[in-house]
Amino acid sequence: MIALALPTAAEGGTFTPPGLEDLHLPDILPWGAEYGTGFGKQMLLVILTVVLVSWFLVAASRRRAMVPGKFQFLGEWTYTFVRNSIGRDMLGEREFKKYTPLLVSLFLFVLLSNMMGSIPFLQIPTTSHVGTAYALAGIVYVYWIYLGFKTHGVKYFKVSVVPSGVPKAFLIPVVLIEIVSTFLVRPMTHSLRLFATMLSGHMIIALTGAAMAYMFTSLGQWWGYPLGSLIFIGGLAMFLFEIFIQVLQAYVFTLLTAVYIQTSISDAH
Amino acid sequence: MEISGSLNAIGYGLSAIGGGIGVGLVFAAFIQGVARQPEAQRVLQPLAFMGLAFTEALAILGLVFAFVWKL
């Protein structure tokens, strides 16, 4: 759809696809604007997300009944899903209970942050700004290093970077690769995966929207209307696909958190 | 004939090849495993998503660098 739109758009000469600059929305707080308050729409949405998640968890567990109502069922189902299919399967029967609160709150926060991209009028995933993703992955990064030191003591340096069963001749390059991949690439990809998928999804939606608006309003040719309708169908399909990606990325983010915790509390490398 | 634009998009396309093949292999193995032993799905599913996450790392780096490095 987009490929169809681009040549005609170039022909018209006025179509400018939305770029990265469109993600940097103006600050909401007016004072101190010349320094950049940094308090934009995304910050507001982060606060809204925290409030909504807290409200959901508190309200779903306030009136506990033996036979749960719909709302309590939703809360319990979410909790059970994260606890069983992420926590228990990854961390093992013995350990998973300690880390369930972290996993559940991370999952709900990331899920709702991503979902902000699909709610009308809010329409921007807070995780499409790299700062949110860095903060989330940073918390997890500090936490699993702390857990490693707590479990192994100073030996954690050796446990984390020296794989067992490597011949002595290969030890130096293998250890170097392990250091880079564990302590540099791991937190980077953990945060950038979430950020990049949300950013590209948001850009695709914005691009189809802008292309459709251009086709309908400012092209001025009769074939703008069928072409715009085609773009609308493609954009709708991408929108639905985007919802799927948002849920999947929240799942993957929490799953990787569990995996990293597991690698630092397990004995063997 | 003059072609203008950014080479970054081509770079991202190249970096997506490997990730695409890798993700395909991961899920092919996952589907095969489940088809042979359907009760193993609960065990295999997190592993498959873990493999997906590790495999797409390079493609993600490619996407980010395509945006970041303006040459």
Q: Evaluate whether A162 touches A171 at the Cβ level (below 8 Å).
A: yes
Q: Evaluate whether B52 touches A252 at the Cβ level (below 8 Å).
A: yes
| A256, closest residue in chain B (CA to CA) | B50
Number of domains in chain B: 1
Q: Evaluate whether A17 touches B6 at the Cβ level (below 8 Å).
A: no
Tokens in use for A178?
């392990």
Whether B16 is in a domain gets the answer no
Domain of B66, in residue numbers? 23-70
Q: Where are the domains of chain A?
A: 2-265
pTM: 0.86
pLDDT value at A3 more than 90: no
> How many Cα atoms sit within 13 Å of A130 on the Cβ side?
11
Q: Evaluate whether A195 touches A253 at the Cβ level (below 8 Å).
A: no
Whether B17 is in a domain gets the answer no
One-character DSSP codes across A29-71: --TTTTT-----HHHHHHHHHHHHHHHHHHHHTTS--SS--HH
Tokens in use for A197?
């998928």
Whether B2 is in a domain gets the answer no
Residue ranges of chain A whose CB lies within 8 Å of a chain B CB:
20, 85-86, 89-90, 185, 188-189, 192-193, 195-197, 199-200, 251-252, 255-256, 259
Pairwise CA distance, residues A152 & A142, whole Å: 16
Distance, C-alpha A137 to centroid of its chain: 10
Cross-chain residue pair B53–A193, CB shorter than 8 Å: yes
Stretch A37-61: mean pLDDT, rounded? 87
Q: How high is the ipTM of this complex?
A: 0.78
Whether B38 is in a domain gets the answer yes
Whether B14 is in a domain gets the answer no
Stretch A168-183: mean pLDDT, rounded? 88
> Sorting pLDDT into bands at 50, 70 and 90, what band is A1?
very low
Cross-chain residue pair B61–A189, CB shorter than 8 Å: yes
Pairwise CA distance, residues A255 & A269, whole Å: 19
Residue scoring higher pLDDT (A50 or B69): A50
Stretch A162-171: mean pLDDT, rounded? 84
The span from the first CA to the last CA of chain A, in angstroms, equals 48
One-character DSSP codes across B30-68: HHHHHHH-GGGHHHHHHHHHHHHHHHTHHHHHHHHHHHH
* Residues 6+ positions from A77 with CB-CB distance below 8 Å: none
Residues of B in contact with A251 (CB under 8 A): 49
What percent of chain B is modeled with pLDDT above 90? 35
Whether B43 is in a domain gets the answer yes
Stretch A188-197: mean pLDDT, rounded? 90
- Nearest CA to CA, how far is B61 from chain A (Å)? 7
Measuring CA to CA, which residue among A55, A91, A90, A56 is closest to residue A75? Answer: A56
| B63, closest residue in chain A (CA to CA) | A196
Stretch A111-139: mean pLDDT, rounded? 90
What percent of chain B is modeled with pLDDT above 70? 97
Q: Evaluate whether A255 touches A136 at the Cβ level (below 8 Å).
A: no
Stretch B11-38: mean pLDDT, rounded? 93
> Sorting pLDDT into bands at 50, 70 and 90, what band is A12?
low
Which of A10-19, A144-153, A202-211, B18-27 shows the lowest per-residue confidence on average (mean pLDDT)?
A: A10-19
Mean pLDDT of chain A: 85
